[in-house]
Structure 1
Amino acid sequence: MAPPQHILLAEPRGFCAGVDRAIEIVERAIQKFGAPIYVRHEIVHNTYVVNDLRAKGAVFIEMLADVPPGATLVFSAHGVSRAVQQEAQARGFSIFDATCPLVSKVHVEVAKLAKQGYEFIMIGHKGHPEVEGTMGQLEHGIHLVQDVPDVARVRPAQTHKLALVTQTTLSVDDAAEIAAAVRTRFPGVREPKQQDICYATQNRQDAVKLLSPQVDVVIVVGSPTSSNSTRLRELATKLGTTAYMVDSADELQAEWFDGLARVGLTAGASAPEILVRQVIDRIKALGAVSVRSMAGIEETTKFPLPKGLRMAAATDLSTMARMTQSGPAQE
C-alpha cells in the first residue's frame, strides 16, 4: 500500500497557559526547596510530563496522609475540594496551588452564588478530578449531569435560584447540547457570563474542525486520562475522519496510514511539543515527505505564578514550556 505523503499540523495545539503554569510551579518549587516536592494527583494528565517531573524530584500522591509533616505540597492543575484544602492546611504543609485560574474562576463563582442561596447543575464527567474539585466546593447542592438524559433526573430542592457551571475541558458542542436541555427544563437557570469551557479547549476543538475535512486520518497526541485530548479524537471521528490518540510515537501503527496520503496531527493541552515532533519523525519514517502548519489562532495568555515562587531564579530551569516551540511551519 502507498505510504502517507503529507502531514498537516493543527494550530493551536499542545500546552495551554494553565498547563505551562502548573508545570513551572512544580519545577520552581523543586529548585527553590529541593526534592522531594509532593504533588496531589498528576499535575496534568500526561504520562511524559509526569515521568519527567518525577525524575526531577516530584512525588505524586492521592492521599495527604502519604505526605510527611512539613513537606511542600502542590495542588494539581485540576483543582481540589475545600475538604482537601482544609486537610492540607491542618497538616501544616507548605502549599502551592497550581489549579488552573480558569478552574478557580468556576470555584469562585460557585462560592459566590452559594452564599446567595443558589443550587447548581454541573455539566461534566463523573470521577474527573476537576469535577470532584468543583463539586467539593460545597457540601451539597451541586447536581452533576453527564448527558442530556441526566438533565431529566435532576431534582433540585428549589428552582428559582439555580445556576449552571461546566467542566472546562468538555466538548464544546456536547456541552452546548446539554446546556440547551437544562435551559428547556429550567428556563430561569443562571448561566455564566462567559462559558466555563476554557479558551484552549475551544481553540483546539475549532482547529480540529478545520483540520479534519482536509486529511484522511487524524492523530491526537495525548494520554488516555486527558479529557481534552479525548474530546479532540471524538470530535474528529464525529466529523467523519478516522482518528487515533497516542501517548507517544511508539504507539503509532503503520497500517493506520496504508493508502492514506494526508495525515492531520494535533495535541491535547497537556501534551508537550516534543511528543508531536517525535510523532512527525515516525510518520516521516513511514514515507511522509512534507509537513505544513495550518493557519490558526496565536495564544498569548500567560497566568502568574503563586507569590512564593515568582522570585525563584529561572536559571537552568528546563521548563516544559520550552517544549511548546513548534519549530518550522514548513518542512
Structure 2
Amino acid sequence: MNNETVKRSPLKVLSAAALASVITLGGIGTLPPVHAETPAPQAAEADAFAYLNDAGRMKLINLEAEQLVSSWPTQTTSIDRVEVYELLEIRNEAYAAVMDPTTSQARLQAIARKYEQKLKNYQEIVLDEFWVDNYFYKLKMAILRGVSYENSHLSPPDKRTIEAVMAAEAALGKNKTDKNYRDVFVKYYIPVQVNEFDLQTSYDKTRYDSQISRYRQWVQEDIAKAVAAGSTEDYSSYTAEIEQAISSFEQLLASSANQKKVDFSLGYISSKYDNLLAALDSYLPPTSSTSERNLLVNLIARSKELLALPTDNQPGQFPATAVSKFRLVLKAAEKDLSQAKTRVEYGIAASKLDQALMKFYETHLPYAQ
C-alpha cells in the first residue's frame, strides 16, 4: 500500500492517533470518577496478576506491543481494509483470553498462531518503502536535531532507537523494495521498541485518570442518546464487564506493571466498550465517522445511487456486465447489514463493499477526448 492508496478511498482516513482511540483504546463505562491520586502499590495486587507472566500470555502481550509499533510509521491508516478488522477481531479474542486466569495454554497458543498471521497481513499494508523511509527520516531529525550521531548526547532510550534505525538502514542497503523495508523494520526496529515497553514502569498516572474519566462520560452520553432514541434495553451487564476491566487496569497501573501489560489491559477495556457500542449502535444517530455500521449504511446508499444511473456501453456509463456483478456484491452487503452484530462484522462488510465499489468505479467508461 502506498500513500495514494489511502487518499483514494471513499471512506474517511483517520490519523494514527485517532485510529488508536478507536481501535486500541475505545472507551469505558458508567462508573464513579477515579481519584487523582493513585493508591500505593500493594503486594496482593501484584500477586493477583502473576498469571500474566506465563509463556502463553506473554506471547500475546508481546504481539500486541508489536502491533502497536507496526502502526507508528503510517500516521494515517485507511480504515476501509479487511486486514484492519481481522486484526482487531483476533486482538479482542486475545484480550479476553489473556485476562482470564482460567484460559489454558493450548488455547493461548492457538490464538497466538492466528494473531501472528493477522499481524503479518496487517504489516503488509502499513509497512512499505514510503511510510517506513519517511518515518525513519523524521525520527532521526527529531532525536538528533541535525547533530551527527557521534557528536550527540542522547538518553539511553533515544540511543537505542537511533541505533535500531541505523541497523535497519544498513541491512536495507540498496534493496529498497516495500518488502525489504518491511522486513528490516520488523527485524531491527520493532524488537527494540517492544523492549522499551518492558523497561517503562512509571507513568503519568493523572493522564490515565483523565482518559478514563472522559471515556466514562462518553459512555454515559451514548447510553443517554440510545434511551432518548427509544431504547428500553438493560445495559447493566455491559457496564459491569467494563467495570471489571477497569478494576484490573487500575490494579496493574498501581502495581507498577510494565507498559506492555498496562497498555494490554487498556485494550481489554476497549474490547468491552466495543461490545457496549455494538448494543447501542442501532439507536445512535449516524453522526460518527468511526461507526462501522454507519459506514456500511452510507456505502450501500452510495452503491444504490450508482446503480440507478443509466447502464450501457456508452461513454460516461457503467457496462452492463459490471453492473450485474456489482449488484451481487451489494446484495451480499445488505445481507451483512441485517445479520452483523459486532463492530468487526460491520467493519469487514464495509471494507469488502468499499473495495468492490472502487473496482466498480474503474469500469466507468471514459468520455472521448
Do the structures match in fold with TM over 0.5?
A: no
Q: Which has the larger radius of gyration?
A: 2
Higher share in strand: 1
- Under a length normalisation based on structure 2, what TM-score does the superposition of the two structures give? 0.25
Higher share in helix: 2
